[in-house]
Amino acid sequence: MKALLPIALCIATLAATAAPAKPLVAFFSASGTTAAVAERLAQAAGADLYEIKPDVPYSAADLDWRDAGSRSSREMKDEAVRPPLGAPLPDLAAYDVVFVGFPIWWGVAPRQVDTFLDQGDFAGKKLVPFATSGSSGIGRAESALQERHPALDWQPGKLLNRASDADLAAFVAPFVE
Ligand SMILES: Cc1cc2nc3c(=O)[nH]c(=O)nc-3n(C[C@H](O)[C@H](O)[C@H](O)COP(=O)(O)O)c2cc1C
């Protein structure tokens, strides 16, 4: 039995090396809707989950789009704003595919997502956007992300409002083995 131990360890190491890298599901969510779909997506993809947390959570007043002076309105008026994050980035070296989820704000991704993308090293990784919204599509958000982060390898994204488990499985299928 003792003699078999090194062989068993060797097989275990080989299996670990050959295993495909897990994807990462990174998401920003101010009021929980994107968080809920991100959790389901991570399950569907067998992925790790990372929350793009703001340094200070958004209050209802911060999220008031009817108030031109609210925190979200001020951030979204200026494309150069990069609000600070409240948690360190995960070790991105472990991932080849990163799903990036967010609520649509004023037709595009919130600036917190730009902070995350600016701070991380995404070279050689596939980035797959997904979003939730009141009704807007994800197309404008995808174009804006591509314009602001042109060096990244963007894959076609998807709006996941009311997505079924089958929708989620189909969305992640090209990126999981
Ligand atoms: C500041 C702000 C701007 C928004 N702008 C849009 C928009 O342009 N189009 C849209 O369909 N929904 C818009 N919404 C609604 C959110 O996209 C939607 O409620 C989303 O599912 C919230 O996700 P969360 O709970 O993960 O934050 C906006 C919400 C906020 C707070």
- Which sequence spans correspond to the domains of the chain? 21-175
Taking the centre of ligand 1 as the mean of its atom positions, its distance from the CA of residue 86, in whole angstroms, is 21
* Cross-strand bridge partners of residue 51: 27
Q: How many CB atoms lie within 10 A of CB 174?
A: 11
**pLDDT tens, the chain, 177 aa long:** 555 555 554 445 544 455 567 999 999 999 999 999 999 999 999 999 999 999 999 999 999 999 999 999 999 999 999 999 999 999 999 999 999 999 999 999 999 999 999 999 999 999 999 999 999 999 999 999 999 999 999 999 999 999 999 999 999 999 997
Taking the centre of ligand 1 as the mean of its atom positions, its distance from the CA of residue 120, in whole angstroms, is 25
Taking the centre of ligand 1 as the mean of its atom positions, its distance from the CA of residue 104, in whole angstroms, is 5
Helix (H) or strand (E) holding 7: helix 5-18
Taking the centre of ligand 1 as the mean of its atom positions, its distance from the CA of residue 135, in whole angstroms, is 9
Q: What is the DSSP string of 14-76?
A: HHHHHSPPPPEEEE--SSSHHHHHHHHHHHHHT-EEEE--BSSPPPTTTT-TT-TTSHHHHHH
pTM of this prediction exceeds 0.95: no
Report whether CATH 3.40.50.300 matches the domain 21-175.
no
For residue 14, what pLDDT is reported?
47
Closest residue (by CA) to atom 27 of ligand 1? 30
For residue 10, what pLDDT is reported?
47
Residue of 51, 77, 104, 135 with the most ligand 1 atoms within 8 Å of its CB, for mutation: 104
Closest atom, ligand 1, to C-alpha of 70: 1
Q: Which residue has the tokens 């982060």?
A: 149
